[in-house]
Amino acid sequence: MRALAGPAMLLVIAGGFAIYRGISKEDAPSRDFLELEFAGANVEQSGSCYSLSTVLIANGVFGGTTRTWKAAGDDTWTLGLETVSQSYNGPVHEFQNFTFGKSGQRVRLKSVDASKGRPTEIGKNIDLLLEAPNARHSTPVERCLESGATGYAYRAQK
């Protein structure tokens, strides 16, 4: 029994450390979720040819703004972007909260909440989000690598 005391305590320490790491880790969606094709704003919600991660990177969300992922249900995540900008009369808090949900093999923009002056219509935001990857000719998802592939607002590189 005594011989087990040492290893048992080591196990307690290791377990405590693992729990601490688990609790302190920031929430974020899985890579599989981020690699899903981002759906367009049309009625059919056809694919845009870009994965969600490509859309976010092209829009520079991993740059200067502060971002936070929060789980918002099954296969649904809210990405919060916020910054403090200077206006003529002082500092202003600006934010955008995008809620993305998995729908089949695609990921849809389900809702947008934003500070005053920023659009909250889903269609408008989808179009805005797709401007950057289209302008940069970001790498499309595999199905759009073949010639003749189509996607919502997608302009294949010639």
In the complex with other proteins, the residue whose CB is nearer, 10 or 18, is 10
Helix H segments across the chain? 2-24, 31-34, 52-58, 122-136
In the complex with other proteins, the residue whose CB is nearer, 95 or 127, is 95
Residues at the contact surface with other proteins, assessed by CB under 8 A: 2-3, 5-6, 9-10, 12-13, 66, 68, 82-84, 86-93
In the complex with other proteins, the residue whose CB is nearer, 88 or 147, is 88
| Least gap, CB of 78 to other proteins (angstroms) | 15
Q: Which residues pair with 101 in a beta bridge?
A: 76, 108
| Least gap, CB of 68 to other proteins (angstroms) | 7
In the complex with other proteins, the residue whose CB is nearer, 95 or 122, is 95
Q: How many CB atoms lie within 10 A of CB 17?
A: 10
| Least gap, CB of 66 to other proteins (angstroms) | 5
Q: How many CB atoms lie within 10 A of CB 106?
A: 19
At residue 124, the 3 state secondary structure works out as helix
Q: Which residues pair with 63 in a beta bridge?
A: none
